[in-house]
């Protein structure tokens, strides 16, 4: 029997797309998720896409006894650890929840892996660890900082993993720093399903386009960027998913720890994204330019050279594909998985 890949948080947005990419590359995902920000319907959709329904354990990464049982019974080859909370504003209101879930959850998982003799881990970090970068594109050796508890939880976990690797170099660890994941699987069956009003740009745009929200508010038209709106590195979630398969391949074949950006290397402004989306859905999007959002930065995009060199991976899907796939998902599922 092939050993599964344990995917914590695998019912969520990036996790469900990664399950598809894992299955397509011959792996067997086993999802552990407490469904605090997702629905197991996503895994049924993964089955419709790939023909395989991932194994599913409903539970929490902070539950050490459950982890011991799953690791002993299923003997996974590696863990891809997506499980965590990710809303920046909420992390400012409820910092302890974020440290408990993200940092505490990761430490509990690492301890269980250590007890089970399993030392292969891929961790979801974020470009948020670069804070407000001094320049773009951003390389992995740029200084790190945090401006909110969510970002600090990612910094702390990166450091925990670094310490663990130094103490025991038998660990194989990938720290993947995602830029802005967007879009959906081209089938329109899985996609991003945020609870309540979306915080992030693209789900907000698609909900305006489908009539669920009345107008987009663009946070700031006076940034020091070519058109005055913020610039980000929007990466198609299937490119990101395939980045995990590439990272897994590398991890299983090589000793050591590595840290890579997963981004496209292209900056795209908020206005450029709005225009691309208008082209895709064939209608104008109502928007207004309002004040800057607290904590935002002007520009953020990746230098993706390290991922290409180390993993032989690069993002291949363009902005039009991102918009078309996000739009297909939103139209087919106007209320998400509900």
Q: Which residues belong to the active site?
A: 150
Question: What whole-number distance in Å separates Cα of residue 36 and Cα of residue 9?
Answer: 9
Query: Please, what is the angle between helix 319-332 and helix 270-281, to 10°?
Result: 60
14 contacts ligand NAD (rule: CB under 6 A): yes
CA distance to 8, 19, 50, 117, 233, per residue, from 22 (Å): 14, 5, 10, 23, 24
Residues facing residue 174 across a β-bridge: 122, 258
Q: Are 251 and 5 in contact (CB under 8 A)?
A: no
Q: Which is nearer to ligand NAD, 14 or 300 (CB)?
A: 14
76 contacts ligand NAD (rule: CB under 6 A): no
Catalog residues that contact ligand UD1 under the rule CB under 6 A.
Answer: 88, 126-128, 150-151, 180, 199-201, 204, 216-219, 230, 232, 270, 293, 295-296
234 contacts ligand NAD (rule: CB under 6 A): no
Question: What whole-number distance in Å separates Cα of residue 322 and Cα of residue 127?
Answer: 19
Q: Which is nearer to ligand NAD, 44 or 221 (CB)?
A: 44
CA distance to 219, 270, 295, 296, per residue, from 292 (Å): 4, 12, 9, 7
Q: Which is nearer to ligand UD1, 85 or 218 (CB)?
A: 218
13 contacts ligand NAD (rule: CB under 6 A): yes
Q: Which of ligand NAD, ligand UD1, none does residue 293 bind (CB under 5 to 8 Å by kind)? A: ligand UD1
The window from 35-43, 113-121, 204-212, 215-223 that contacts ligand NAD (CB under 6 A) reads: 35-43
According to CB under 6 A, which residues from 120 to 179 bind ligand NAD? 124, 126, 178
Q: Which of ligand NAD, ligand UD1, none does residue 147 bind (CB under 5 to 8 Å by kind)? A: none
Question: What whole-number distance in Å separates Cα of residue 309 and Cα of residue 189?
Answer: 33
Q: Which is nearer to ligand NAD, 14 or 121 (CB)?
A: 14
Task: Give the β-pairing of 268-269 and 231-232.
Answer: antiparallel
35 contacts ligand NAD (rule: CB under 6 A): yes
- Burial label, 45 (beta-carbon count in 10 A; 0-12, 13-18, 19+): buried
Q: Which of ligand UD1, ligand NAD, none does residue 61 bind (CB under 5 to 8 Å by kind)? A: ligand NAD
Contacts of residue 324, defined as CB under 8 A and 6 or more positions apart, other chains included, come to: 280
Residue number closest to ligand NAD, CB atom: 12
62 contacts ligand NAD (rule: CB under 6 A): yes
- Of 181, 188, 198, 267, the residue at the interface with ligand NAD (CB under 6 A) is 181
Question: What whole-number distance in Å separates Cα of residue 6 and Cα of residue 37?
Answer: 18
64 contacts ligand NAD (rule: CB under 6 A): no
Name which of 267, 260, 316 is nearest 135 in CA terms. Answer: 267
Give me the least distance between CB of 155 and ligand NAD, in Å please.
Answer: 12
Q: Which is nearer to ligand NAD, 126 or 330 (CB)?
A: 126
Give me the least distance between CB of 19 and ligand NAD, in Å please.
Answer: 11
Q: Are 207 and 198 in contact (CB under 8 A)?
A: yes
Question: What whole-number distance in Å separates Cα of residue 274 and Cα of residue 233?
Answer: 14
Judged by the rule CB under 6 A, the positions of this chain that interact with ligand NAD are 8-9, 11-15, 33-38, 60-62, 82-86, 101, 105, 124, 126, 178, 181
């Amino acid at each position: 029997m092939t050993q599964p890949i344990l995917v914590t948080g695998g019912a969520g947005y990036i996790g469900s797309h990664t399950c598809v990419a894992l299955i397509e590359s011959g792996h067997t995902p086993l999802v552990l998720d407490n469904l605090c920000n997702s629905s197991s319907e996503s895994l049924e959709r993964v089955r419709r896409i790939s023909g395989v329904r991932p194994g599913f354990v409903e539970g929490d990464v902070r539950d050490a006894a459950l982890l011991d049982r799953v690791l002993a019974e299923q003997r996974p080859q590696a863990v891809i650890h997506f499980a965590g909370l990710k809303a920046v504003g909420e992390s400012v209101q409820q910092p302890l929840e974020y440290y408990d879930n993200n940092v505490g959850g990761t430490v509990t998982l690492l301890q269980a892996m250590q007890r089970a003799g399993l030392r292969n881990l891929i961790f979801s970090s974020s470009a948020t660890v670069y804070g407000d970068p001094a320049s773009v594109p951003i390389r992995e050796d740029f200084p790190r900082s945090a401006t909110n508890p969510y970002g600090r939880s990612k910094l702390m976990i990166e450091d925990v993993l670094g310490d663990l690797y130094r103490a025991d170099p038998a660990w194989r660890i990938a720290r993947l720093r995602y830029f802005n994941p967007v879009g959906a699987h081209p089938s329109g069956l899985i996609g991003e399903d945020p609870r309540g009003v979306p915080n992030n740009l693209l789900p907000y745009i698609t909900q305006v386009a489908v009539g669920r929200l009345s107008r987009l508010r663009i946070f700031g038209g006076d940034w020091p960027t070519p058109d005055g709106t913020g610039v980000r590195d929007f990466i198609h979630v299937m490119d990101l998913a395939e980045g995990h398969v590439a990272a897994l391949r590398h991890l299983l074949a090589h000793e050591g720890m590595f840290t890579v950006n997963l981004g496209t290397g292209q900056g795209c402004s908020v206005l450029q994204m709005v225009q691309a989306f208008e082209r895709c859905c064939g209608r104008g999007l109502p928007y207004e330019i309002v004040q800057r959002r607290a904590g935002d930065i002007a520009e953020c995009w990746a230098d993706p050279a390290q991922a290409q060199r180390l993993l032989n991976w690069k993002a291949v899907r363009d902005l039009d594909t991102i918009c078309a796939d996000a739009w297909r998902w939103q139209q087919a599922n106007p209320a998400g998985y509900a």
